[in-house]
Each structure stands twice: as C-alpha cells, then as structure tokens.
Amino acid sequence: MLNHSSAPQTAHWGPPYLLYLGQASDELAIKTARGLAYWRPEWCIGQLQRPGCKATLGLRELNVVEAKAAGANTMVVGMANAGGVMDPQTITDVIAALDAGLHVAAGLHNKLRENPEIVAAAQRNGRELFDARDPQPGIPVGTGRRRAGKRLLTVGTDCSTGKMYTTLALEREMRQRGLKADFRGTGQTGILVANCGVPIDSVVADFISGAAEWISPARFDGGWDLIEGQGSLFHPSYAGVSLGLLHGAQPDALVLTHEPGRPHMRGLPDHPIPGLRECLDANLKAARLTNPGVRAVGVSLNTSGMSADEARALCAKVAAELELPCADPVTMGVESIVDHLLACFAN
C-alpha cells in the first residue's frame, strides 16, 4: 500500500466523518461531500446542513456534538462556494466542531490553517486541521526513470468529465475480482476519498511530474496504481497539469473520459471540444515520453444527460469507432474496460 500522504503520517484526522454541507446553493456545491458519501459510505455517519441549504446527501442530520457522540472523528467541509472561500457561518461551525472534539478537514482554496481563529481553536482543543489542497513539502522534481509496477491514468477531453469517478469505479471492479488495485487521488475530493494523495493543482509547475511519481512509487506486488487524472491537454487553462501527470505517472494504460453534448471547453466558449480520436492520440503521444509502451484500454462516457437507450447506442458507436470498450461507469459499470485491460496485460 502507498505510504505517502498529503498529511503527516502521524495524523489523527480521518473517518468516521461528519459531512458539512453548510448553506450549499445547489448539488454541485457539495461535490466533495457527495464523492465521499458515494465512494466511502461506510465512513460517513451524518451530514450538517445550515438554514437555506439546497442540497442533501440523505444522511441523518447531526450537529457537531451529536456527531462526536455518535462516533465521528472528523468534520469534512464538503461544500464549496464561488472562489472556494469560507463564509462567516462556515468559520463559526468549524470552530464549534473543534470545540466539540472533532478534527476538521477541507479542500477549499481558502485554507483552514490560514484562519487565526480556526488555528487557535484547533490548538486549544488539541485537534488537527487538514487542508487537502496543501501539498506535502519535499515533493521532488520528476526524473522520468522507469520504475516497477503497473499504472493506469484517466485522461479527458475536458475538465470535469468523470476522471475521478471512472478511476474509483475501476478500483472497485478490480478489487471485487480479487485484484490488487489502489486509487491515487490528485484532487481534493479524491484525496479525502483515498485518505492520501497530492493536490496536483496546488503543486508548483516544475514539480508536477515529480508529484505523480511520488504518489505512485515502484510497486512489486503485481498490482495496479490507478491514478486520477486532471484537466485536459486541450484545455488552455489546465493542459500543463494534464501533461505533468502524463509524464510523471508513466502510465501503462490510459482510459479516456468524455461528456457528450458539451458545446465547448469548460469556461472557454471559443475553444471547441476535441474529437475523441484526436484527444486519445495526443495523450498517447505525450505519454510515450516516459512510457513508450503505453496503451489505450477504454473510453468512459458521462451520459447523465441522455436517456438509457441513447447512452447505450452512443457507447456502442464510440466502441466501434475507437475499437475500445466504452461505458458509463456509473450506470453501466466498467467490467468491459477491466476485461480489456487485463487482456492487454495478460503476460
């Protein structure tokens, strides 16, 4: 198992979790909490909503004192607003959680450790603060040297196309088959789900490939590291992060993720979505710098905006065009992709 973490190895924060939803304005605002509740439900004992909250996970409603009594160890600030800042109510509730004896974790750009009142509350209660967007110090520069083990990286035509969900679905399917497979988180939600990882979007550019090497060191047990991708080679804002991950991950296998129907790159109306073949070829070419033997093993589509029949028809069409298995990991599973992965690397 990976022994690197974006928190010190002596950290006491971790599950069971109380998921803080605050005054979330919509479902998208609680994507971190939803990711934890979906992928690690056994870790999540309740939610905390404030008046006006317009999103829910369907968990039992607990205040911080009730959550501590029910066995919670950490309150996760699982919501985000525009800019990732903590509003006054959130700050008040974080302090209350610390005073109730809970550790607190968050993935906001506005970090817990940057708020003097929160830091003081943590210190007086002997509690820990964990900022998922705070990289571990000492990340090395990437070397590109080959290392033992097998690795899969998810890549995308755009941002937010399902890379984390696809990677976690692959981990679950492989583990259900008795295979050794470990998800490696690179975003705030993925880090909290994995309880370790590195926030790639907060790493200094020169160290991005090194961070990917760091979270996926040499592996000698025959298992797979499944690395959560970020951004897109075709997104002008985030292509640098995507390229650094490709080089540092040294992936043996790529899975391409895509959301059908997007009119343009997220937030950039002047930049169209690339074709699937174009995007896949570009990622394979870039990945060959550090692993000439890299192979594409599947395509993952987010078909949440389509009917079931439309989704199945599109997956069949894409599979025929790219000669790769294609599925929506949430509604169809990833069995066909794992079948193909194992067939490609049978020897």
pLDDT digits (tens, 9 = 90+) for 228-286: 999 999 999 999 999 999 999 999 999 999 999 999 998 899 999 999 999 999 999 99
* pLDDT at site 10: 54
CB 78 within 8 A of CB 21: yes
Q: Please give the C-alpha separations between residue 136 and each of 31, 82, 109, 196, 336, in angstroms, as whole numbers.
A: 23, 25, 16, 10, 36
Domains of the chain, CATH where assigned: 17-131 (3.40.50.720), 150-344 (3.40.50.300)
Rounded-to-integer distance, Cα 277 and Cα 283, Å: 10
* pLDDT at 347 > cutoff 80: no
Query: What contacts 10, CB < 8 A, 6 or more positions away?
Result: none
CB 283 within 8 A of CB 183: no
Q: What is the mean pLDDT of residues 187-208?
A: 90
Q: What is the mean pLDDT of residues 12-40?
A: 91
Query: What contacts 323, CB < 8 A, 6 or more positions away?
Result: none
Percent helix / strand / coil, the chain, rounded to 5: 35, 15, 45
Q: Please give the C-alpha separations between residue 83 and each of 86, 87, 107, 108, 229, in angstroms, as whole numbers.
A: 9, 11, 12, 8, 22
Average pLDDT of the chain, as a whole number: 92
Phi/psi at 240 (5° precision): -65, -40
Rounded-to-integer distance, Cα 130 and Cα 152, Å: 28
* pLDDT at site 196: 84
CB 301 within 8 A of CB 328: yes
The conformation of residue 324, written as its DSSP 8-state character, comes to S
Model confidence, pTM: 0.89
* pLDDT at 181 > cutoff 90: yes
* pLDDT at 7 > cutoff 80: no
